[in-house]
Structure 1
């Protein structure tokens, strides 16, 4: 089973290296080939979202907003979207937060 996992991970890395968008996404802290490839595969064209908040709401990371008459209404948290991708994003965020206390650079 370990050999199969290694082979699948190697295939993901090959596809990741061949995809420019996936390589760009890997520049995000704690986003590796798996998270980047999963994001590209799940989203397709990110231009379907007008901003990052819409993407986060689609993933179920923040509540969606519904505005009427210039008055924003925040809806309840949604568990729609890709649960596996949401989990990868949450783990990446936790890793960044955990390590931020150990760094002294301006990004921390």
Structure 2
């Protein structure tokens, strides 16, 4: 701000688009990126009988969330741990891990 005279003050404005954004962008993959993995999850549940039917009856959004949860892990050991966790949660009748957590409260 600069004083023009005793009565008026001049204010300088800058466009926000010209300012550089600070910070690090997080790599947050959406569930849509894991659509190709949905059949792999169903294939894993093929020998589980009722669980495969339960999984196939889930809305496609829930199926993508499970695929994202499992295949976003880079280590095969972590993926296997998450598969087993998914089997446990689905066998209790919960559609997602978040609903499972809410039910445990």
TM-score bracket for the superposition, by shorter chain length: under 0.3
Greater gyration radius:
2
